[in-house]
Structure 1
Amino acid sequence: MKVYVDQDLCISCGLCIDTCPDVFSWNDDGKAQAIDSEVPADAENEAREALENCPSEAIKEE
């Protein structure tokens, strides 16, 4: 599974970071970003939960 955060859609709510801190973090602009596009196998469930619960639908699966 590969994910990225669309910076134009991110509203900096932090929900993805709270849900899956192993995959998402803050960038220098104060928006969420994927630490690495490839999600570790043991974090896929949390990453998918973050994707599905993103209020601005900024998290995309590649």
Structure 2
Amino acid sequence: MRVVSSFVHVWIDQDLCTGDGLCVDHCPDVFVQLEDGIAYVAEESRPLNDPGSGGSLAWVPLKHHQLVVESAEMCPGECIFIEMKESAVA
């Protein structure tokens, strides 16, 4: 039996972020806006604010997958990037 599961991760390019906060309004469990007015991703309510590093790549819970995709589509700065990975177990 082969089981395939998908993992979704998201990150924000802060250099492209316009600070509109639409992502935060749409999915506050995954996106946060800090004092600098820029959006960041969060895991378990903890902002991952290390721009440009792997430490800024947040795992997205299944219940938020669609909201994250919608947030990326509506983002005026086009700064939200989604990475999907599949893992297979034989």
Query: Shift of residue 29 of structure 1?
Result: 1.9
Alignment identity in percent? Answer: 44
Provide Cα deviations, 1:2-58, integer angstroms capped at 9, x if missing partner: 111100000000000011011000124220000031011101111110011111101
Tell me, what secondary structure is at the counterpart of 1:45? helix
Amino acid at match of 1:40: P
1:6 lines up with 2:13 in the alignment: yes
> Which of 58, 70, 76 is residue 55 of structure 1 equivalent to?
76
Q: Compute the TM-score of the two structures, normalised by the length of structure 1.
A: 0.91
Aligned to 2:59, what secondary structure does the other structure show? coil
Residue 32 of structure 1 pairs with residue 39 of structure 2: yes
4+ residue segments displaced more than 6 Å = none
Question: What SS is found at the alignment partner of 1:2?
Answer: strand
Q: Distance in 2 between matches of 1:25 and 1:19?
A: 11
Unmatched runs of 5 consecutive residues or more in structure 1: none
- Point out the structure with the larger strand share: 2
Flag the structure with higher helix content.
1
Q: Distance in 2 between matches of 1:26 and 1:53?
A: 16
